[in-house]
Chain A
Amino acid sequence: MATQILMPALSPTMEEGTLAKWLVKEGDEVKSGMIIAEIETDKATMEFEAVDEGTVGKILIAEGTEGVKVNTPIAVLVEEGESAEDVAAPAAPVAAAPAPAAAPVAAAPAPAALVAPAKPDWPEGTAMKSMTVREALREAMAEEMRANENVFLMGEEVGEYQGAYKISQGLLDEFGARRVIDTPITEMGFAGLAVGAAWGGLNPIVEFMTFNFAMQAIDHIINSAAKTNYMSGGQLPCPIVFRGPNGAAARVAAQHSQDYAAWYSQIPGLKVVMPYTAADAKGLLKAAIRDPNPVVFLENEILYGRTFDVPVLDDFIVPIGKARIARPGKDVTIVSFGIGMTYALEAAERLAKDGIDAEVIDLRTIRPMDTATIIESVKKTNRLVTVEEGFPQSSVGNFISATVMQQAFDWLDAPVINLCGKDVPMPYAANLEKLALVTTDEVVAAVKQVTYR
């Protein structure tokens, strides 16, 4: 019986990839375990091993083909005596598999055009370059490391492996092992060590493979980095950046899928940044590295591969603590940050079709929070919905609601709605995971509720 070889999923967030190279040709014998192709994901080039045995009857997808969806038949294996022609038109094996693992939004890269800052962070007429969030973060670190000898990067797999999520790709080559430092798996140890190094006059960038593992180190982030300047009467500031992916990726379950924005936003002495676009990722990371305070810089794995326009400037900085009006509007204010912006902007587009003109604010910095921009907007629209991925109790949205109630109570025409992830640990099962995350539909429904439509 002929067997189809399907395009494999090679990472939790992979939905498609490039068939970079075939290592077998038609007529070749294939044994289980043999490497038959090289497949490029946005993170890496991976070797693809055969599971089934047989002869390559037909190669269906030529090497060099980009954007091959997971589960597409890429070749047919035949047994002795069979020919590829005997193989009936490929049945749709895709149907057998459950919905792809990735969060539903991962497929839809937000068009850069949606992002039209009311007051851009760059001069009019600046040339723009399209790049991924991943590239933007890498450029920010590289530029700051070139500019300041005391900036160094430390973390698990940041050097020789080129970064678990490839953010630090190439940095070891350029800056050497003195400044791009692979650590053992000892988060508490290297976070504390980096705080000490900051006190000693350096500017560490600490990469957590994900922020879930920063819980091992949170004592040093909070008790050591955030509080010591105060306790020392201003003698020991701590210029350090703690960065890495935060929030849910896809199907990695409860211990690997938590949004820590609200947690860190509680702490005086910390700054907390959570960019959505590549431009903000770049400009804010550069600002964070220069900041004399500890900055928790929350990235998102699903956003790493998304492309946005970034200004081409010698030294592009986005100030910490300033929100961005991503879409001006007059009927309702939607406040979000990080990946939540995906749902907020999608909802705004859909609402526009129903005649509701939403103003979407991208907070960018969670602490110190630009509440002035929110208040100003609410005074105009009189309605507010907040959108975030984290848990509902004591969420960032709760703080925004309280602030708005105190400072703009008389302007509100409806109770504020805080949309959050569901109040459950992140489930693994594909169907439950979707339900646990905040969705565009929920944003649309919440806006209709506060606008009484």
Chain B
Amino acid sequence: MATRKSAEKSNVSRDELLKYYRDMLLIRRFEEKAGQLYGMGMIGGFCHLYIGQEAVVVGLEAAAKEGDKRITSYRDHGHMLVAGMDPKGVMAELTGRIGGYSKGKGGSMHMFSREKHFYGGHGIVGAQVPLGTGLGFADKYKGNDNVTFVYFGDGAANQGQVYESYNMAELWNLPVIYVIENNQYAMGTSTKRATKSPNLWERGAAYGIKGEMVDGMDVMAVKAAAEKAVAVCRAGEGPYILEMMTYRYRGHSMSDPAKYRTREEVQKVRETRDAIEHVRELLIEGNLASDDDLKAIDKEIKAIVNEAADFSKESPEPDVSELWTDIYA
């Protein structure tokens, strides 16, 4: 886990690498912009940024096909962008405008897109785990070969409903990939202060679920593990657990003073394990892309993000009549 697979070893093409670079950079720049808009009071409430963890969702989505579903927690912006949701609609939801994916009624933590099979965006820690298990149940019931990616944190991994879900998922061989995004902290509580079982993925063994730990800062390693897990699930032999070792660079939410870890600790990860830097190096050192190529991508991403930010400011607030819509179907 400590050493990274090189590009050659994982047999990854230039186009593929460039796509990962682009997707991860989109998430990072989008989140930086969201942080900025929060500071300006354009975004309110809780806002949890995904900066640092980009390789996890980008690697997993690389193994997905049309029809696969995904569900996650409140730290959801990255998942939506990679699932193909429009950055404009995501940002406008953050600012609470009608152009947002939930018409401004859900906000950062509660966004959905049926079209892109993105089932949220959930504010209650752990709730998405049985919900995602149910999405998998529905696919198995219908007899298709879709899988569901259920993302949750190291903190969520201690909720009882996770284990109730594991038991049913294995009992009924549901096509569900449980992705534990172990960023080592649940708010201010490090995993060491929350559990004495260090390997969260191993807990699945008690229910007979296969799994493994993966370097979640290495997009190729994530992709390789995801392909394996997806194959198992599509073959009707799910579920599968992937514990992604990752790290969040920012505070838990925008209002976290983050006194529970040192700046040096954050700095060290940024300097030695950053997922985007890693792919950039592979591209440059492998002579797969030039500095100019990457600069062009940076520019393109910046334009997308600025366009999203502009849209999120221009889109009007929902009409007051929206207060009373969507309560019942």
Chain A interfacial positions (CB closer than 8 Å to B): 6, 8-12, 14, 32, 35, 41, 43-47, 51, 70-71, 93, 96-98, 100-101, 156-157, 160-161, 164, 182, 184-186, 188-189, 212-213, 215-216, 249-256, 422-425, 427-432, 435-436
Q: Which residues of A contact B39 (CB under 8 A)?
A: 6, 8-10, 51
Nearest residue (CB) in A for B124 is: A255
Nearest residue (CB) in B for A432 is: B323
Q: How far is the CA of A46 from the CA of B253 in the complex (A)?
A: 12
Cross-chain contact B189 with A156 (CB below 8 angstroms): yes
Interface centre among A8, A93, A98, A423 (most CB of B within 10 A): A98
- Tell which of B40, B46, B260, B263 touches A6, judged by Cβ atoms closer than 8 Å: B40
Cross-chain contact B188 with A251 (CB below 8 angstroms): no
Q: How far is the CA of A98 from the CA of B97 in the complex (A)?
A: 11
- Tell which of A98, A184, A256 touches B194, judged by Cβ atoms closer than 8 Å: A184
Cross-chain contact B104 with A432 (CB below 8 angstroms): yes
Interchain nearest-CB distance for B310 vs A (Å): 12
Q: How far is the CA of A51 from the CA of B35 in the complex (A)?
A: 9
The answer to the question of B297 belonging to the interface, with a C-beta cut-off of 8 Å to chain A, is no
Cross-chain contact B46 with A156 (CB below 8 angstroms): no
- Tell which of A188, A253, A424 touches B327, judged by Cβ atoms closer than 8 Å: A424
Cross-chain contact B187 with A157 (CB below 8 angstroms): yes
Per-residue A-contact encoding for B171-194, CB less than 8 Å = 1, 0 else? 000000000000000111100011
Interchain nearest-CB distance for B321 vs A (Å): 10
Cross-chain contact B36 with A436 (CB below 8 angstroms): no
Q: How far is the CA of A185 from the CA of B39 in the complex (A)?
A: 28
Interface centre among A43, A160, A215, A250 (most CB of B within 10 A): A160
Interchain nearest-CB distance for B128 vs A (Å): 12
Contacts A160-B188, A164-B187, A422-B323 hold; do A429 and B105 have CB atoms under 8 A apart?
yes
Please list 20 pairs of residues, one from A and one from B, whose beta carbons are closer than 8 Å in the complex, sorted by A's number: A44-B255, A46-B257, A96-B40, A184-B189, A184-B195, A185-B156, A186-B160, A215-B124, A251-B45, A252-B46, A253-B45, A253-B110, A255-B109, A255-B110, A425-B327, A427-B105, A428-B104, A429-B96, A429-B104, A430-B96
Cross-chain contact A185 with B41 (CB below 8 angstroms): no
**9 new A-B pairs (CB below 8 Å) besides A161-B187, A253-B106?**
A9-B44, A51-B39, A98-B96, A156-B189, A157-B188, A185-B186, A428-B93, A428-B96, A428-B105
User: How many of chain B's residues touch chain A, expressed as a range?
Assistant: 35 or more
The answer to the question of B141 belonging to the interface, with a C-beta cut-off of 8 Å to chain A, is no
Contacts A47-B257, A251-B107, A253-B110 hold; do A424 and B36 have CB atoms under 8 A apart?
no
Contacts A252-B46, A430-B44 hold; do A185 and B155 have CB atoms under 8 A apart?
yes
Q: Which residues of B contact A100 (CB under 8 A)?
A: 41
Q: Which residues of A contact B187 (CB under 8 A)?
A: 156-157, 161, 164
Interchain nearest-CB distance for A207 vs B (Å): 14
Secondary structure of the A side of the interface? loop
Q: Which of B304-325 contact A (CB under 8 A)?
A: 313, 317-318, 320, 322-324
The answer to the question of B134 belonging to the interface, with a C-beta cut-off of 8 Å to chain A, is no
Per-residue A-contact encoding for B89-108, CB less than 8 Å = 1, 0 else? 00001011100001111110
Q: Which residues of B contact A71 (CB under 8 A)?
A: 40-41
Interchain nearest-CB distance for A186 vs B (Å): 5
Q: How far is the CA of A14 from the CA of B256 in the complex (A)?
A: 13
Q: How far is the CA of A11 from the CA of B257 in the complex (A)?
A: 10
Q: How far is the CA of A120 from the CA of B327 in the complex (A)?
A: 44
Cross-chain contact B254 with A436 (CB below 8 angstroms): no
Q: How far is the CA of A179 from the CA of B231 in the complex (A)?
A: 49
Q: How far is the CA of A64 from the CA of B187 in the complex (A)?
A: 29
Cross-chain contact A12 with B46 (CB below 8 angstroms): yes
Per-residue A-contact encoding for B105-120, CB less than 8 Å = 1, 0 else? 1110110000000000
Per-residue A-contact encoding for B128-160, CB less than 8 Å = 1, 0 else? 000000000000000000000000000110111
Q: How far is the CA of A70 from the CA of B187 in the complex (A)?
A: 25
Nearest residue (CB) in B for A94 is: B41
- Tell which of B96, B158, B254 touches A10, judged by Cβ atoms closer than 8 Å: B254
Cross-chain contact A250 with B318 (CB below 8 angstroms): no
Q: Which residues of B contact A43 (CB under 8 A)?
A: 255
Cross-chain contact B32 with A51 (CB below 8 angstroms): yes
Contacts A12-B46, A185-B159, A428-B105 hold; do A212 and B257 have CB atoms under 8 A apart?
no
Q: How far is the CA of A256 from the CA of B109 in the complex (A)?
A: 10
Q: Which residues of A contact B195 (CB under 8 A)?
A: 184
- Tell which of A51, A160, A255, A422 touches B260, judged by Cβ atoms closer than 8 Å: A160
Closest 9 CB pairs of A and B: A251-B44, A101-B44, A428-B107, A8-B39, A11-B255, A251-B45, A161-B188, A429-B104, A429-B96
Nearest residue (CB) in A for B104 is: A429
The answer to the question of B78 belonging to the interface, with a C-beta cut-off of 8 Å to chain A, is no
Q: How far is the CA of A35 from the CA of B125 in the complex (A)?
A: 30
Q: Which residues of A contact B260 (CB under 8 A)?
A: 160-161
Nearest residue (CB) in B for A97 is: B41
Q: Which residues of A contact B95 (CB under 8 A)?
A: 98
Cross-chain contact A432 with B318 (CB below 8 angstroms): yes
Cross-chain contact A185 with B126 (CB below 8 angstroms): yes
Cross-chain contact B36 with A429 (CB below 8 angstroms): no
Contacts A184-B155, A251-B45, A252-B46 hold; do A427 and B188 have CB atoms under 8 A apart?
no
Q: How far is the CA of A180 from the CA of B53 in the complex (A)?
A: 32
- Tell which of B106, B156, B160, B263 touches A428, judged by Cβ atoms closer than 8 Å: B106
Q: Which residues of B contact A254 (CB under 8 A)?
A: 105-106, 110
Q: Which residues of B contact A256 (CB under 8 A)?
A: 45-46, 109, 123
The answer to the question of B38 belonging to the interface, with a C-beta cut-off of 8 Å to chain A, is yes
The answer to the question of B12 belonging to the interface, with a C-beta cut-off of 8 Å to chain A, is no
- Tell which of B109, B122, B254 touches A11, judged by Cβ atoms closer than 8 Å: B254
Q: How far is the CA of A213 from the CA of B278 in the complex (A)?
A: 39
